[in-house]
Amino acid sequence: MAGVLIAFSGKGGSGKTTLASLMIRELIRSGNKPVLAVDADPNATLALMLGVPCPGTIADLRDEMMEVAKKPSEIPKDRLMDRWLAELLSEQTGFDLLTMGRPEGPQCYCYINGLLRRYLKLLRDNYPYVVVDCEAGMEYLSRLTVDDADALVLVAEPTNVGLTTAERIAELSQALPIRVRRRVLAVNKVPASGGEAESTELFRPAPVQAVVQVPFDGDLARRASCGEAVDDAAGSAARDAVVQLMRECLS
Ligand SMILES: Nc1ncnc2c1ncn2[C@@H]1O[C@H](COP(=O)(O)OP(=O)(O)OP(=O)(O)O)[C@@H](O)[C@H]1O
Ligand SMILES: [Mg+2]
């Protein structure tokens, strides 16, 4: 059976990678493992945030394949690529990590996006849970990189611009030929004093099935500024909200 896929989308800097990292930790902690963690942002930071070595990327493979394609080979290119993709998976405790990367030079993303989409479909049979950290904005949706998600988490800061962006992504995900079972709005970095009520007033009638508010967590901000990973001890102030977010995504 295909694993449950949870994708994190939203405006640049809203906290997609942070919440994806916390979600991966929470899934593992609650026994929902193994998790396949997928960094689908060309500016890959998920490995850094999780505190694990930066693995090779699908984009690197594309460049290698270009070299191989110049010479005659006995192994069909597709088989060779599948073997290389399998070797790319970086094994960690409770999760494996797959990183898309970005092509060098002016090539377009279509080829590596296609590889990621095809490989994700295969891998979903091997992992009960898949968490995808998407790039900022909406282009990855139009490229159909993630075309079948159990939950699309729309991460937004509690501002008009943040929530409008989340709403547009939610609407686009409805208009495109993709399957999204549940859209969950995660209003992130909500200030402690009075923030909850204030930001609730800002909520748009976006096509979302649930809204979770994640408080501003000084530990997460400090870790980011010191380059410290989001490990099991990180983000205690945000933890209850992340547990709630996980439940909304899995329900
Ligand atoms: N709940 C939170 N409380 C405090 N700081 C947070 C919280 N969530 C995220 N941050 C901080 O916000 C900043 C941006 O986070 P992050 O890199 O996860 O965003 P992103 O959406 O993945 O960005 P990008 O679009 O560049 O990929 C970081 O400094 C991070 O520590
Ligand atoms: Mg990010």
Q: Are 163 and 202 in contact (CB under 8 A)?
A: yes
The token pair that represents 228 in the structure block: 């410290």
pLDDT for residue 80 is more than 90? no
CATH code where residue 58 lies: 3.40.50.300
Ligand located closest to 19 CA: 1
Any atom of ligand 1 within 6 Å of the Cβ of 238: yes
**Mean pLDDT across 88-104:** 91
pLDDT for residue 147 is more than 70: yes
> What distance in Å separates the CA atoms of residue 62 and residue 71, rounded to the nearest whole number?
15
Task: Read off the pTM.
Answer: 0.94
Ligand 1, residue 133: give the atom nearest the CA. Answer: 22
- 134: enclosing H helix or E strand: strand 129-134
Q: Assess whether the C-beta atom of 214 lies below 6 angstroms from ligand 1.
A: yes
Domain span at residue 74?
4-250
Confirm or reject: Cβ of 113 under 6 Å from ligand 1: no
189 Cβ below 6 A of ligand 1? yes
Number of domains in the chain: 1
Among 180, 126, 193, 124, which Cα is nearest to 153's? 180
Q: Which of 161, 188, 220 to mutate to test the pocket of ligand 1 (most atoms within 8 A of CB)?
A: 220
How large is the average pLDDT for residues 191-213?
71
Q: How many residues does the chain have?
A: 251
pLDDT > 70? residue 202: no
Q: How many angstroms is it from 99 CA to the middle of ligand 1?
A: 19
State how far the Cα of 13 lies from the Cα of 101, in Å rounded to an integer. Answer: 18
List the one residue out of 235, 232, 220 whose CA is nearest residue 28.
232
